[in-house]
Amino acid sequence: MSSASESSSDEGSRRRRKDKKKRKKKSKDKDGSDDDWFYERGEVERLVRDLLEINGSAGKELVGLLRSIDDGEMVILDGIADKTIRRKVRHLFKAFYLDEPAAKQSGFRKPPKARDFSFRREIKRLVKKAEKDTREAENEEAKRAADKQKDAEPPPTVPAKEEGPAAPPEPSFLSWESMPAAPTGPVENPSSAAGAMAGPPPPPPPPGKRRVGVAFPSRDDLARLQEGFQGGGEADEAQFGPMPTVDEEGEEGGGRPQRESWMTDAPDSLAAAFGQAPKRPKVDPFEAKRTEEERQAMEKYLEEYNKQHRGKSLLELQQEGAFSQYRDEQHKAMKRKADDPWGKTKGQQAEGGGGGQPWKRFDRDQDLEVKRQVNNTDFMKLVEKSQELKSKFSRSNVQTSFL
């Protein structure tokens, strides 16, 4: 009896431990990280986004690197060729607080305190989140651009409905002589006529030959124009207004026309440019009237005030020799090479990565020294070659090296 109860209690305790282990594993998979390990989450997310922007396939490479970290291997970053990617991966590992046991190599290893933490699972989750955020941002940007383009398009315009009688048709480009003339006399009712014909009326006569283009005036129009020219000046005055008179000397209007002054005289602001004196000098009505003694006293007061309250200018300080003590430091700073620690190992940073300046100062005695002397033979050869320059437009074939 007692053995059966003990076996049942052991079975229950084993089941409870198994369920507890399952719940712990499920919560661990859901959270993606243990609470025992702390790292800079915001900095890691930013670096993951930057790496994905530089290279879209960087997520798989990061998962592979952190899988090696979880397996207990040491990851060395010297093999990454791209300097920018190598720098950001180093920052990412430092944000995870990985150990750097190597002194002269950029190596990183999983810290002992994070043995239960899965860096691979965490970086995989962050990569998925960054890719999702990027896709959402791109979709939002595309939607915003489409809405903006839609708003920029003008709405379709509906033609307004015209009210009132319709306008007469445009005149045809055909000659009016080719059109049939309208009847001028009264139209008789065919039903009232004595000899009305039964049936439909006969068709109208065929129109004349159609002509395209501008029609010349008819004889009647030419006759009317000729009568108008012979009629005199009354019709012209009624149509065009009074005509100019002609005096005995043959000049119209009785004298030479005169232009107004605003058409010939320049304004005061441009009078000096055209050699004309301005009509009146510009005087400021609000200018204070001071004598010469008052003006000199004011200048003296301003000079004393500037000496007491204002500092010296850089030119005055340089002339007084205030910066002579920094001349040596300035010379050293010009020779110092700008050292970029990013992308270098700890050993290179400790050594200083010295390489010296890639350039040197100009030395007149050394740089202008003639390395090769020109003898008599070379000089005569140069004179013969110079005769090939027949004009200023010809090309030279002479190749010499003085320096």
pLDDT in tens, 272-317: 777 766 666 667 778 788 899 999 999 999 999 988 888 888 888 8
Categorize the per-residue pLDDT at 333 as very low, low, confident or very high, splitting at 50, 70 and 90. confident
**Residue 157, pLDDT score:** 63
What is the DSSP annotation of 314-377? HHHHHHHTTTGGGHHHHHHHHHS-----TT--HHHHHHT-----SS----HHHHT--SS---HH
Is the pLDDT at 176 greater than 80? The verdict is: no
Q: Does 120 reside within a domain? A: yes
Q: Does 209 reside within a domain? A: no
105 contacts: CB under 8 Å, gap ≥ 6: 76, 78, 345, 346, 347
What angle, 0 to 180 degrees and rounded to 10, lies between the N-to-C axes of helices 83-95 and 58-70?
A: 50
Q: Does 95 reside within a domain? A: yes
Q: Does 56 reside within a domain? A: yes
**Residue 194, pLDDT score:** 44
Q: Does 158 reside within a domain? A: no
Please report which helix (H) or strand (E) contains residue 141, including its range: helix 119-152
Range in 27-31, 288-292, 356-360, 379-383 the model is least confident about: 27-31
Q: Does 145 reside within a domain? A: yes
Give the mean pLDDT of the chain: 72
Range in 88-102, 207-221, 262-276 the model is least confident about: 207-221
Q: Does 286 reside within a domain? A: no
**Residue 242, pLDDT score:** 56
Q: Can you tell me whether residue 78 is helix, strand or coil?
A: helix
Closest CA to 214 of 263, 174, 267: 174
**What mean pLDDT comes out for the span 23-42?**
62
Q: Does 245 reside within a domain? A: no
Domain hosting 131: range is: 39-150
Count of domains forming the chain:
1
**Residue 296, pLDDT score:** 94
Categorize the per-residue pLDDT at 249 as very low, low, confident or very high, splitting at 50, 70 and 90. very low
